[in-house]
Amino acid sequence: MKILLTGSSGQVGRCLVEKLNNTIGTEFIALNRNELDITDSISVDKIVTSFQPNVIINAAAHTAVDRAEEEVELSYAINRDGPENLAKAAARIGATILHISTDYVFAGDKDGEYVENDETVPQSVYGKSKLAGEIAVAEACHRHIIIRTAWVFSEHGGNFVKSMLRLAESRDALSIVADQFGGPTYAGDIADALLQISAAIVKEKNVEFGIYHYSGMPHVSWYDFANTIFIEAKEQDVLKKVMAINPITTAVYPTPAKRPVNSKLNSGKINIQFGIVPSNWPLALKNLKHYMG
């Protein structure tokens, strides 16, 4: 198996590199944005033609949701044009592209969990640019797997878990939004899912290309998620006290980009096709000392 990974310095990218380094029989190249600008089609074609991967995993994205409201051109360049370049290159050599997308492609006003064929009505520049990327990838390369995920966290980079632990060191109490719901998703579990799908593709199993949802269970609010983080941190002696948190509404904490109220993704399809189970996010919080710093 030969894998070309883009976005190697992001949360999912770093987890993938760690796992690929310990995967026997796999040759890979992992590139960050300084090593490969995916918006440069010539550079993309050059590396893909040279390396001839079976699978291209695109973990690169412009994920600064609020900044995207002003950085519109940059968002579309990275989230639409870059994936399209990779997909076109994959199609030229008969490779498969695995592309990561987001719950933000939905309006977030559905009752219950979102499934793959639900209507996409993004409410932010980030969501719109990611949806445009999905469409571009699907049109450019038949052999595509698009993974929509949500609420990603890990030991790497910036994310909700690390922010909560950092803020708890300097504050006595926090106010956390309690009326937005979703499935926290550990980046290491996303990496495992991507590698499991890649293996199935290379082994030429009967793979159904298209869109899949993958996120964590159980579904919770941001307030519930924060509460679990702080309880675990106290039990693991990462924090000396359980942080006091106050539930607030979205209206009390306005942001430049509109967040989906409902980010619950149904992961049934990916389980049926690949045997992949939802991310066990509570388990991923059992070693919080690695999230510090």
Catalytic residue among 126, 212, 214, 223: 126
Contact 241, 160 (CB under 8 A): no
Active site residue 126: yes
Work out the widest C-alpha separation in the chain, in whole angstroms. Answer: 56
Q: Which amino acid is at 2?
A: K
Residue whose pair of structure tokens reads 């883009």 in the numeric block: 6
Picking from 178, 191, 143, the residue whose alpha carbon sits closest to that of residue 20 is 191
Distance CA 97, CA 83 (A): 9
Neighbours of 164 (CB within 10 A): 25
Contact 98, 56 (CB under 8 A): yes
Classify residue 224 as exposed, middle or buried by CB count within 10 Å of its CB (0-12, 13-18, 19+): middle
Residues annotated catalytic, as ranges: 126
